Amino acid sequence: MGQSVKKLGLSELRNNHPKYNFLSGPYLIWKNLINYFPALSNFIQRDIRLKYRNSLFGFFWSLLEPLILSGVYYILFIVIVGKTEPEYPLWVIIGVITWTFFSKIMNGTIVALTRNAELIKQVYLPREIFAFSITISNLIIATSSFLVVIPFMIYLEIAPTSQLVMVPLGLVLVSSLGLGLGLMFSGLNTLNRDIEHLFRVITRAGLFLSPVMWTVKMLPESRQSMIEYLMLNPMVVPISMIRSGFDGTELGIDSFYIIYSVVFCLTCLILGSMIFKRSEATVVKYL
Amino acid sequence: MNKITVDVDNITIQFPKTKPFFGTIENSISSFLKLEATETDDFIALDGVSLQLFEGEIVGIIGKNGSGKSTLLRTISGIYNPDKGMVRTKGQISLLARLGIGFNVHLTGRENIYLYGSILGHTKKTMDGLIDEIINFSELALSIDKPLRTYSSGMKTRLSFSVASAVKSEILLIDEVLGVGDYDFREKSNIRMQEMVNDAATVVIVSHSLPVLEQMCSRLILIEDGKIRAIGEPKEIIEIYKSTSKLKAKGTDLTKLITKEKPKLSFVKKISHRLNLLSLLLLRIFRLSEWASSKLPAPKNTTNEKNEIIQNHWGEIFEAVPNTNFIIDKKSKKLTKKIPVEETKIRTMVILTCIWKRPKLTQIVLSNYKKLKEEVKEFLNLELVAVGSEGEKSKTICEENGFHYFEYENQPMSEKWNFGLLMTKKFNPDAVTIVGSDDIIDKQLLSFYNGKLNKGHLMLGIKDFYIYDSESQKLAYWRGYGKLNDAHRMDETIGLARCLSRPLLDKLNFNIWNDLDISRNLDGAMTTRLKEIGIYPTSEENIPYIKIDNQIYGAGHLGYKLKEIKGFAIDIKTKTNVTSFDRYLARDPDSIEYLDGEFLKSKLYDETIKEILELGDDE
C-alpha cells in the first residue's frame, strides 16, 4: 500500500484549500504579497498609469486637486472665522491631501472585491492583492501630491527639520487604518452594497470631525475638556503628525493619545487581515 | 503508471441562493410584507465529486449548462473552496477562462502580457524571457504595441491563450475558450497542448464542442447536476451524453419541466404592472386608450362609408342570406348561389417568413415547417419561402429545411417583408400565410384555413395564441386583445399567421409594405393597407360579399380564436424579442393563462419540443 502511494505520487500533492488558523491572517497575507509581488506591482503600475489617462494636465491633477479643494476650504474658513494664521493654508493642504488619501484607500478597499468580481471568479490570485494595490498606488499619488507643499514652505520660510520623519510615520498610520477598515468590511460589502454607501457617508462626515480644516491647537482654552472626545477619532493624531512633520512645530498631543491612535490603527490592520482571510472563501461565492 | 497531478476527493460546493441577513432592499420589503416567500435552500453546484487526473493526459469535461463544469475547474484552480472534501494538486496551475479576463483595454498588448502573466503568478523575469515567444505564437507582432481596445475578440483570445500556455505549468485548465480564433490558430493551440501533455502536464478542457473533445482527449468526464455520471473513453461518453439528453425530453414529465404556476414576479415588477394597469384603466375610463396606443385617433368608418370603399375597389356588394348558401344583391335584390371555390383542388399555399440572427431558434422553427409540409401534403401544397440578410449563413439554414431562400437587407423590415411577398408570386400561390421566424403553427390551423379559403374568404387570421418564454420556461395562452388592452383592436387579428388569398394579393399587386420604411408594427400597417381597399375586420355573419371573375368572395378581415377552432400557433420568446413576454403581463395579467408542458405534446413534434426545451436563454 505504502509503495503504491509513493508510485502514484500522492505524497507530492498539496492541499489546495488548507484550513488556517484565524490568527494567521496577517502572516498569510504577507506571504501572498511576496509570492504575488509581480502581480501587485503590475496592478499598481496600471492604476497609476491609467489614472490620468487622456487628460491634458495628467499628473498635475494630483497637485491641482488638493490645491483647488484647499482653496475652497480656505475661503470658507476665512468667511466663518475671519483672520487666520499665515500657516493656515499649508495646514489645510496637508489635511486635505491626508484625508483624500485616507478616504480613497478605505472606500477603494471596501469595493475591491465587488469591482474585481469578474477577475476573481475567473482566475485564482490572492484577493488581498487588490486591496494592497489600491493602497500602495494611492500612497504613491499622495506622496507626490505633497510636492505642492514645497512652494508654501518656501514662501513661509519654513525649513525642513528632523521632524520630517513624522510624515512617513503618519502615512503608515493612515494607510493601516484605511486598509484595515477596508479589509474588515469588503467581505460584508459583497453581501450587501449598503456598506460602501455607508462608508462613503462616514468619510464625508469624518472630514469635519477630523482636523482637516482645523488643527488641534486651534481649540480655544475654554474647550480643552473636549479634547478627550476629539481624540477618540484615530485620524486626529496621524494628520497632526504629518502637519508637524512639515512645519517643524511641536506635536503638542499627549503621548497617551498617540499610543491610543497607533494601537487603534495597527489593530485595525491586523484584525482586518484576519477577518478578510477568514471570510474570503465564503464571500467569493456571493460575487 | 503515471503520477497523479490532481486529486479531487468527494467535494461538495453549495452556493447560497439568498444572502444571509441582508439581500436587496426589495427582497427585504417583499419578504417583510409576505408578498413572496424567500427561498433559503442552497444551490448545490457540486455534489460529492471525486476524481483523479494523471500526468500526460488531456481530459475533457462535458455536461449541460449549469451542471457544474466550470465550478469544478474553478475549485481545482483554487477560486472556490469546497464546503466538504478536499482538492489536492501538484505544481503550477493555469486556468484559461473567459477571454480578456485580467486584461486592461487601455494598456497595450505588450503591457497586458506582463499584467496577465503576473496575474497567473509569474515574475517579471520569467515574462521577460518569454515575451518574444508569446508575441510570436500569438501572431500579433504588428499590433502588440497598440492598446488592447483596438483588438478583435479573436485577437484577445489568441493573446490570452499564448500567455497562459507559455509558461510551463503542470496543470492547464481551459474553460470554453477553444474554438474561437481561426482554423490555423486552433491547430496551433492543439499542438501546443499536445506538447504540454508530452511534457507530462495535465490538461483539462471544458467545452461544448464534442468533435473537438473526441479528437483531443484521452478521457472524458460527463457531469450532470453536479455529479459525475460517467468517466471513460471519449466515444462512449459522448454516446451516453447524447442519449441522455434525448431521453430527457422524451422520458421526463413535461408537466414538471413547464409548470402551470404563475412565474414569481419581483416586487418592483409587480408594482410597475399594477401602475401600468391603473393607467390603462384610467385611459379607458377617459376613452383615451385608442389615442394612447396609436397616437392618432383612427377614422371610424360607418357601414355605409365602408361599403362605398368596397364598391369603389371591388364593385358590387352582396349580402348573405342567413342559413342558406345564397347571397343577395343589395340593389337588384337578385339571389345568387354562393359558388364554392373548387373544393377538390389541392391549393398551393406559401409560408412566408423573414429570418435574422438567432440561429438556434430559426433552425427549430424552420425544421418544423419542413415536417409540416410533409404532413399536410394530402390537402395542401406548402411552399416555404424565407428572406434572410446574413448571406451564406442564412441560406444554408433555409435550404437545409426546404425553404426557398432570398436575400434582402434587414432594415427597414417593411422592405424586407415586402420583397418576400413579391417573391412568393414565383410559386403561383393560392394563398400566402405570413409567420415570424419564431412562430410555429400546426396542421389543424392550416386545414381550417384551407376550409375557409374554399368558402371564398379573402383574408384570415387568428386572435389569440400560445407563448413559450425560453427565459422563464413558461408556457402560456394569451386570449387576445381585451377590453383593457387595446380595446380598439379587439376585432383585429394578430400578426402571427395571417393568411391572404390570391385574389386579394393580386389586387394589392403583392405589395403591402412598399414605401413604408418602418421596422415595427408591420401588422398594423397591413391592417391599414387592407382597410384602404375595403377589407375591414369583421365577423363571418356580417361579412360583405363581392364578385371577382364571377366568383363570390367574402371581403373581410376574419379573425378566429385558436381555442375554438382547436388550432395551434405558438410564439417562442427569447431574450432578444422585441415584444417581451412581460409586456402581455403588464398590459393585462388576466389575459394570460399558464399551461403545463403536457399540452405541447399534443400540438408539437417530440423533436421540436426537445429542441425548444434545450433552447435555454442563450439567444
pLDDT (tens digit per residue) in A245-269? 998 888 888 899 999 999 999 999 9
DSSP assignment string, B413-440: HHHHHHHHHHHHGGG--SEEEE--TTEE
Q: CA angle, A281 as apex, A277 and A287 as ends, to 5°?
A: 115
CA-to-CA distance for A37 and A125, rounded, in angstroms? 11
Q: So what's the pLDDT on residue B587?
A: 67
Contact A14 B88 (CB under 8 A): yes
By C-alpha distance, the chain A residue nearest B102 is: A119
Q: So what's the pLDDT on residue B577?
A: 62
pLDDT of B588 above 60: yes
- Do residues B175 and B161 touch, judged by C-beta distance below 8 A? no
- Do residues A90 and A239 touch, judged by C-beta distance below 8 A? no
Residue B201 pLDDT level (bands cut at 50, 70, 90): confident
Q: So what's the pLDDT on residue B290?
A: 59
pLDDT of B345 above 50: yes
- What confidence tens digit (pLDDT) does each residue in B67-108 have? 888 889 889 988 888 888 889 988 888 887 766 677 888 889
Summarize the confidence of residues B351-380 as an average pLDDT.
Answer: 88
Residue to mutate among B81, B98, B176, B177, with most A CBs inside 10 A, is B81
pLDDT of B297 above 50: no
- Do residues B185 and B148 touch, judged by C-beta distance below 8 A? no
Residues in chain B: 619
B133 or B43: whose pLDDT is higher? B133
pLDDT of B109 above 80: yes
Q: So what's the pLDDT on residue B77?
A: 87
Q: Which residues of A are less than 8 Å from B78 in CB distance?
A: 16-17, 124
Residue identified by cell 438567432 is: B358
pTM tops 0.95, yes or no: no
Q: Which residues of A are less than 8 Å from B4 in CB distance?
A: 8-10, 13
HEC secondary structure over B56-74: CEEEEEECCCCCCHHHHHH
Peptide bond into B412 cis (omega under 30): yes
Which DSSP state fits B298? P
Q: So what's the pLDDT on residue A181?
A: 95
Q: So what's the pLDDT on residue A197?
A: 92
Residue B299 pLDDT level (bands cut at 50, 70, 90): low
* Residue B113 half-sphere exposure toward CB, CA atoms < 13 A: 32
Asked casually if ipTM beats, i.e. exceeds, 0.85, the reply is no
Contact A46 B104 (CB under 8 A): yes
Q: Which of residues 49-68 of A touch B (CB under 8 A)?
A: 49-50, 53
Query: How many interchain CB pairs under 8 A, A with B?
Result: 118
Summarize the confidence of residues A187-193 as an average pLDDT.
Answer: 84
Residues in chain A: 287
Judged by DSSP in three states, A268 sits in: helix
Which DSSP state fits B147? B
- What confidence tens digit (pLDDT) does each residue in A153-186 have? 999 989 888 999 999 999 999 999 999 999 999 9
Average predicted confidence (pLDDT) for chain B: 80
- Do residues B482 and B592 touch, judged by C-beta distance below 8 A? no
pLDDT of A130 above 90: yes
CA-to-CA distance for B589 and A183, rounded, in angstroms? 47
B170 or B34: whose pLDDT is higher? B170
Q: Which residues of A are less than 8 Å from B75 in CB distance?
A: 16
- What confidence tens digit (pLDDT) does each residue in B207-249 have? 877 888 888 889 999 998 888 888 999 998 888 888 776 545 4
A38: contact with B, CB 8 A cutoff: yes
Q: So what's the pLDDT on residue B343?
A: 62
Helix axes B234-251, B606-614, angle to 10 degrees: 110
Residues contacting A83, CB < 8 A, separation 6+: none
Q: So what's the pLDDT on residue A228?
A: 85
- What confidence tens digit (pLDDT) does each residue in B16-62 have? 765 554 445 555 554 444 444 444 456 788 888 999 998 888 899 98
- What confidence tens digit (pLDDT) does each residue in B505-560 have? 998 888 888 777 777 778 888 888 888 888 888 888 788 888 888 788 888 889 99
Residues contacting B504, CB < 8 A, separation 6+: B458, B459, B535
Summarize the confidence of residues B10-20 as an average pLDDT.
Answer: 75
Q: So what's the pLDDT on residue B295?
A: 46
B122: contact with A, CB 8 A cutoff: yes
Q: So what's the pLDDT on residue B579?
A: 59
Q: How far is B575 from chain A (nearest CA, A)?
A: 22
B575: contact with A, CB 8 A cutoff: no
Residue B384, beta-bridge partner list:
B351
Q: So what's the pLDDT on residue A188?
A: 87
Between the two ends of chain A, the Cα-to-Cα distance in Å is 43
Summarize the confidence of residues A203-225 as an average pLDDT.
Answer: 86
Which DSSP state fits B104? -
CA-to-CA distance for A206 and A201, rounded, in angstroms? 8
Which DSSP state fits A160? P
- What confidence tens digit (pLDDT) does each residue in B258-283 have? 777 777 777 777 787 778 777 777 77
pLDDT of B586 above 70: no
- For chain B, state the CA radius of gyration: 30
- Residue B364's H or E segment, with its range, is helix B359-375
Summarize the confidence of residues B449-453 as an average pLDDT.
Answer: 88
Q: How far is B86 from chain A (nearest CA, A)?
A: 7
Instruction: Name the pairing type of β-strands B43-54 and B4-15.
Output: antiparallel
A223: contact with B, CB 8 A cutoff: no
Summarize the confidence of residues A22-32 as an average pLDDT.
Answer: 91
Q: Which of residues 90-119 of B touch A (CB under 8 A)?
A: 90, 93, 95, 97-98, 101-102, 104, 106-107, 111, 114-115, 117-119
CA-to-CA distance for A36 and A124, rounded, in angstroms? 11
Q: Outline where A82-192 has alpha helix (H).
A: 88-110, 112-115, 117-122, 128-145, 149-155, 166-191
B163 or B296: whose pLDDT is higher? B163
Nearest CB to A123; choose among B22, B95, B122 = B95
Judged by DSSP in three states, B85 sits in: strand
Q: So what's the pLDDT on residue B18?
A: 57
Q: How far is B74 from chain A (nearest CA, A)?
A: 7
B277 or A284: whose pLDDT is higher? A284
* B151-160, B270-279, B295-304, B564-573: the lowest-pLDDT one: B295-304
Nearest CB to B88; choose among A16, A50, A194 = A16
Q: So what's the pLDDT on residue B175?
A: 80
Which DSSP state fits B401? T
By C-alpha distance, the chain A residue nearest B175 is: A122
